[in-house]
């Protein structure tokens, strides 16, 4: 009997891959799970794979050139900053992502962080737990429908967040170089100057790396807060810490960090006005299932010579045997 062809999960932080296995039932492919951390791991463990399902492992040009049978990569999630997209296109490798699995979850999480910081829930809760019963420690708190919310990035998630914020009565403004929506759009600089809350919803690339830095923090209101549920390096944490120490901004809520997980001596742990969550904005049981299933479906769809739903590059040639 002819052996089945191979698809490899390069790495993942979820223990259950049943949704992916269900997708492969009845196909010509076996699914293998690895936990690759490095280029060497990927090159050694993914030989002969025609498809990869990838989370964090670095799919660099070196790796891609070393996998001659590779035809398609599907990313767990929206971002694809750990994949060399240009190299993949040159080598005829299709790259896909799953941009719609956690739109509600991430936008809800950003809303929850906005409510928490503006109403100072953590501050008040921690005070009560220390037997300090005094609402005035949170002063000043503004009426929420008097606030202006700046949304940076108006893709699926940013637009969902903007709609939810607008429904709460907040004045919503946006900044996006590529998209136009029903929300008033302005320059990034003006958004920073007038917003009480800024929520970031951008991909990470060379242009957006450390987009929020000392220059933009100095434009922001001293009473403003910033929320990031996208990618940690969109914010320069060194500059954020300086802005917090100098009271240039009032607080931050981060679901993503420059280094994940953070070190034990992480400076942002020291600020009461900073909320940190462990890259969990995407998570619900429903989103987790959708993510796994759709990532696997994209790989199998492409290998069956069908059109994928979520392409992120345009391969120059047909993938496989590209070295």
Residues noted as catalytic = 231, 260, 279
Q: Three-state SS for 227?
A: strand
- Cα separation, 155 vs 208, in Å, equals 15
Residues 230/200, Cβ–Cβ less than 8 Å? yes
Residue with tokens 């929420």: 144
- Cα separation, 105 vs 160, in Å, equals 10
Residues 82/63, Cβ–Cβ less than 8 Å? no
Write out the DSSP string of 61-115: HHHHHT-TT--EEEESSS--TTB-HHHHHHTT-EEE--TTSSHHHHHHHHHHHHH
Q: List the strands of the sheet with 5-9, edge to edge.
A: 29-33, 5-9, 49-54, 72-75, 94-96
Token reading at 52: 């990869």
């Amino acid at each position: 009997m002819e052996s089945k062809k191979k698809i490899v999960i390069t790495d993942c932080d979820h223990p259950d891959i049943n949704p992916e296995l269900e997708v492969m039932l009845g196909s010509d492919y076996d699914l293998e799970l690895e936990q690759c951390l490095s280029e060497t791991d990927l090159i050694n463990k993914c030989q002969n794979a025609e498809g990869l399902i990838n989370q964090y492992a670095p799919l660099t040009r070196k790796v891609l050139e070393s996998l001659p049978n590779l035809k398609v990569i599907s990313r767990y999630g929206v971002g694809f900053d750990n994949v060399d997209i240009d190299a993949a296109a040159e080598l005829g490798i299709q790259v896909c992502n799953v941009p719609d699995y956690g739109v509600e979850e991430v936008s809800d999480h950003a809303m929850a962080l906005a409510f928490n910081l503006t109403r100072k829930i953590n501050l008040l809760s921690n005070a009560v737990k220390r037997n300090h019963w005094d609402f005035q420690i949170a002063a000043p708190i503004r009426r929420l429908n008097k606030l202006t919310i700046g949304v940076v990035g108006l893709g699926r998630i940013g637009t969902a967040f903007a709609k939810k914020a607008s429904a709460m009565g907040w004045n919503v403004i946006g900044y996006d170089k590529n998209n136009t929506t029903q929300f008033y759009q302005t320059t990034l600089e003006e958004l920073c100057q007038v917003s009480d809350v800024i929520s970031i919803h951008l991909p990470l690339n060379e242009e957006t790396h450390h987009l929020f830095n000392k220059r933009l923090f100095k434009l922001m209101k001293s009473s403003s807060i910033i929320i990031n549920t996208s990618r940690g390096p969109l914010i320069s944490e060194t500059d954020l810490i300086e802005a917090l120490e100098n009271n240039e901004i009032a607080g931050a809520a981060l679901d993503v960090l420059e280094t994940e997980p953070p070190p034990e001596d992480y400076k942002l742990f020291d600020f009461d006005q900073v909320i940190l969550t462990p890259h969990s904005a995407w998570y619900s049981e429903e989103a987790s299932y959708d993510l796994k299933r759709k990532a696997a479906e994209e790989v199998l769809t492409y290998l069956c010579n069908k059109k994928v739903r979520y392409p992120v590059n345009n391969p120059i040639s047909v993938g496989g045997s590209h070295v």
